[in-house]
Structure 1
Amino acid sequence: MDNFDINSITDFHVAERFMRYVQIDTESDPHATSFPSTEKQKDLSKLLVSELRQMGITDAHLDEYGYVYATIPSNVGQEVPVICFCSHVDTSPDCSGKDVKPLLHADYQGQDIALPDDPSVIIKFSEHPDLKHQLGHDIITASGTTLLGADDKAGIAEIMDATRLLMDYPEIKHGEIKLLFTPDEEVGQGVDHVDLKKLGAQFAYTIDGEKAGTIEDETFSADAVHIVIQGISVHPGFAKGKMVSALKVAADIIADLPKDSLSPETTAEAAGFIHPTEISGGVDKAEINFIIRDHNTSKLAEYETILHRIVENVVVHYPGVTYTFDVKEQYRNMKEVLDQYPAIMKVGLEAIKRAGLTPERRSIRGGTDGSRLSFMGLPCPNVFAGGHAFHGKMEWVSKQDMEKAVLTILHIANIWQEDAIGDKQG
């Protein structure tokens, strides 16, 4: 039994799970003051708890904040580090997640995919380079009016199917495994209320990445900047020499941002940016929200100084205008933590290799729950879930890539147990 071939498993249910899960609307809300930001996220979480209990996971439960906690018991006698697999239930508010109609395009052969509910939405082979690796695969998309929800219901489905297989195949040896499903990752507060003491894991893996075979140990570091501009409001019929429009000040600040650098549309790879995400208000008061990103944490202060200087240079031309400039830390580059625990990535890379893929170590131009979990004391890289073109109507995922993600999860669990035996014998 010790030589059981995990790759011989063929009874995957991951695609069917995924297509069920995406039909549950779990869109989060960046403007809400509640936690989770939308109650409907719990609709999926409750289903997950029910399914976990049906698998025999007796401690699976949903807490008051919308987190799902569960434990897969160890099936070996020796001590093994407790690991956790984590994914988020919410979908991005950038595109509707209501009434998702998942479609499976069997045996993909390189054609463009027009989505039936809006034929103008076309997933073009020429514009999605990863499609060239999908020939013969079964591609799942939405119908053209919503996002799909592969970010991160693919990860949810993969963890759930791996859990079923770990419970059904005692031949796969593993230590104690914790499961954590979080709300509100897409609005930056996914781990605000997580109870790590209750979770009880030493290391974790988010299953929230993109291309099959990839594992990410580096993210952006991130701050948010909130600028409030106070203008002078006067009836427009009597405004000469008196009115100062806060909205015009805000527009000038946006207009003075660098045109050929320091923006998402002009940077790639390790380069960071200053990005306005929202502007609102009127004559009396206007507000601008920015996100500041870079892999090098020390550069955030540099970018914030640049932005502050732009604001000051604009405001000086508008007598009587005042403003506030507030910076809030969002998350930090998880590599700063993960480099202290090389075994986590070693196991992840080896698991991907054993699943039959070529491992690729990547950095993310963004962040995951793992960014914050790492700095909270739970080191946590990000493993592929297989989705592509996140947050929009052209999102897609391969059934076969999701199955590879399930195998990768199984191998991660098994390798930690193998290494524990090796350490004891050594």
Structure 2
Amino acid sequence: MKIPINQERLAHTFVQLCEIDSPSRKEKGVSDYLRRTFHEQGAVSIVEDNSAQQTGSDCGNLIVSFPGNSPKQETIFFACHMDTVEPGSGVQVVQTGDIFTSRGDTVLGSDDKSGIAALIELIWILQENRIAHGPLELLFTTCEEIGLLGAKALDCTRLTAAYGYALDSTGIDRIITGAPAANKLKIEVHGLAAHAGLHPEQGISALCLTANAITNLRLGRLDEESTANFGIIHGGVATNIIPDHITIEGEVRSHSLQKLAAHTAEIQRTFQQVMEGCPFPPSLAPTALEHPCPSPFPPEQQNENETPALDFSPSVSINVQLEYPAMRLEMSDPVLARVKKAGINLGRTLEFQVAGGGSDANIFNSFGLPTAIIATGMDKVHTTDECLDLKDLIRLTELLVAITVA
């Protein structure tokens, strides 16, 4: 199957997209660019939904429809997200041969603008070569990078497609058929503040309690289907105050809902056990109050009125939210059968894999819209070393054409 690709135009489109600032919640620049482009291409419908009210973005999700010219083919959809991670403002693309990078002080933005550029070129190819195809719906979401917020706020009844493809993964010629569910955890540990120099015995360090709990947890890869991580910690107000409040945030992922629940419960149980096993500070025990340790500081620097009550004990509050559900497709599903046929028509061997990350596709599948994930060639994403090979972008575009006409 020979597919004519305008390589210069494809590269130019990609560079233009990358150099439009679109951090999460500020995607309007890309949305406006897409509106102009698809209007020029003759889209029959360009609709922006009202998801911004829920996401806080400066624009909504964009749904673009193109009519088919082959009555035998059903409607399918392709999806990309418009936002990028930080540092993603002021991107200047550097092209060295076929390799695109940033100047090194920002991400490139190939996540997910490689997919967007390929979709724009797809429409040009279909029109210029009068290729027979079914109706197409193109979906561009906001706020994917900060919790799949645009996808979660989407009214899926706006789509008429039977199934579709999210263009959002590293590698090339790779199809993701399964992804884990994830629980987001926010844990707040409450201890007892005290002056770290005057009365350290009267404090209970929330930081030490948190560290004790984390030390007793299993983190990283838990089993062949599950992972856990804590990546954010906040707390403390000064170096001379024993911290009484620490907040940590993390996640548990698993392809098994049973394991997801079990690993999450293990974290909750461990923190509760640490709180219950914490003894009173020495200065709170009756004997300590009757025979306080002499202070090396003069009386005017001591405040005996700050002695806390005897009934204090540390506590923890744990908030668990399902960040996204798991997804799993079968090779017999039409969405995979179609892309497999496209690969055969191109003479390629596609890799069908289960991955460890979550994306908009998790949400679409939970809506009852079977969605496979297609790798776009993006590499070293979420870093300032991010790059994309033009040859991979061309291969992606060829695959999209083959899927459309399969």
TM range, smaller chain = 0.7 to 0.9
Q: Structure 2 residue aligned with 1:175, among 120, 134, 140? A: 134
Task: Give the counterpart letter for 1:331 in structure 2.
Answer: Y
Answer whether contact 1:14 1:161 (CA < 8 A) is retained: yes
Q: How does 1:375-386 map to 2 (within 5 A)?
A: 375-386=366-377
Q: How does 1:87-236 map to 2 (within 5 A)?
A: 87-93=80-86, 96-106=87-97, 138-170=98-130, 172-188=131-147, 189-236=149-196
Answer whether contact 1:214 1:360 (CA < 8 A) is retained: yes
Answer whether contact 2:23 2:83 (CA < 8 A) is retained: yes
Give how far 1:236 is off.
4.0
The answer as to 2:41 corresponding to 1:44 is: no
Distance in 2 between the 1:407 and 1:24 partners?
A: 25
Answer whether contact 2:272 2:316 (CA < 8 A) is retained: no
Task: Sort the Cα spacing of 1:413 and 1:252 in 2 relative to 1 into closer, same or farther, 3 A.
Answer: same
Task: Sort the Cα spacing of 1:167 and 1:218 in 2 relative to 1 into closer, same or farther, 3 A.
Answer: same
Answer whether contact 2:189 2:316 (CA < 8 A) is retained: yes
Partner of 1:279: 233
Answer whether contact 1:46 1:62 (CA < 8 A) is retained: no
Give how far 1:199 is off.
2.0
Distance in 2 between the 1:372 and 1:402 partners?
A: 25
Distance in 1 between the 2:188 and 2:318 partners?
A: 7
The answer as to 2:344 corresponding to 1:344 is: no
Q: Could you report, residue by residue, the CA deviation over 1:211-252 in whole angstroms, capped at 9, with x for unpaired residues?
A: 111101011121111111122223445534432222332233
Q: Structure 2 residue aligned with 1:59, among 40, 45, 54? A: 45
Q: Structure 2 residue aligned with 1:300, among 254, 260, 263? A: 260
Task: Sort the Cα spacing of 1:295 and 1:100 in 2 relative to 1 into closer, same or farther, 3 A.
Answer: same
Partner of 2:360: 369
Q: TM-score, normalised by structure 2?
A: 0.83
Task: Give the counterpart letter for 1:263 in structure 2.
Answer: G
Give how far 1:332 is off.
2.2
Q: Structure 2 residue aligned with 1:243, among 194, 197, 203? A: 203
Answer whether contact 2:65 2:137 (CA < 8 A) is retained: yes
* DSSP 3-state at the match of 1:60: strand
Task: Sort the Cα spacing of 1:326 and 1:8 in 2 relative to 1 into closer, same or farther, 3 A.
Answer: closer
Q: Structure 1 residue aligned with 2:68, among 71, 74, 95? A: 74
The answer as to 2:3 corresponding to 1:15 is: no
Q: TM-score, normalised by structure 1?
A: 0.79
Give how far 1:90 is off.
0.9
Partner of 2:220: 263
Give the length in aligned residue pairs: 357
Answer whether contact 2:183 2:323 (CA < 8 A) is retained: yes
Distance in 1 between the 2:213 and 2:16 partners?
A: 45
* DSSP 3-state at the match of 2:150: coil
Identical residues among aligned pairs (%): 27
Partner of 1:317: 278
Give how far 1:339 is off.
2.6
Distance in 1 between the 2:377 and 2:163 partners?
A: 22
Q: Could you report, residue by residue, the CA deviation over 1:53-99 in whole angstroms, capped at 9, with x for unpaired residues?
A: 01111412333322111101011233x32210000011124xx1112
Q: Structure 2 residue aligned with 1:326, among 316, 319, 324? A: 319
* DSSP 3-state at the match of 1:274: strand
* DSSP 3-state at the match of 2:271: helix
Rg comparison, structure with higher value: 2
Give how far 1:358 is off.
2.0
Answer whether contact 2:44 2:66 (CA < 8 A) is retained: no
Distance in 1 between the 2:399 and 2:6 partners?
A: 15
Partner of 2:386: 395
* DSSP 3-state at the match of 1:325: strand
Partner of 2:23: 27
Give how far 1:256 is off.
2.9
Q: Could you report, residue by residue, the CA deviation over 1:293-317 in whole angstroms, capped at 9, with x for unpaired residues?
A: 1222221112112212321232222
Task: Sort the Cα spacing of 1:99 and 1:227 in 2 relative to 1 into closer, same or farther, 3 A.
Answer: same
Distance in 2 between the 1:14 and 1:23 partners?
A: 15
Runs of 5+ unmatched residues, structure 2: 53-59, 237-242, 281-312
Answer whether contact 1:221 1:331 (CA < 8 A) is retained: yes
Moved over 6 A (4+): none
Task: Give the counterpart letter for 2:142 in structure 1.
Answer: P
Task: Sort the Cα spacing of 1:61 and 1:50 in 2 relative to 1 into closer, same or farther, 3 A.
Answer: farther
The answer as to 2:396 corresponding to 1:412 is: no
Give how far 1:348 is off.
1.1
Answer whether contact 1:56 1:167 (CA < 8 A) is retained: no
Q: Could you report, residue by residue, the CA deviation over 1:379-402 in whole angstroms, capped at 9, with x for unpaired residues?
A: 101011111111101211111111
Distance in 2 between the 1:395 and 1:356 partners?
A: 29
* DSSP 3-state at the match of 1:194: coil
Answer whether contact 1:215 1:381 (CA < 8 A) is retained: yes
Answer whether contact 1:215 1:349 (CA < 8 A) is retained: no
Give how far 1:354 is off.
2.8
Runs of 5+ unmatched residues, structure 1: 29-37, 107-137, 416-426
Give how far 1:207 is off.
0.9
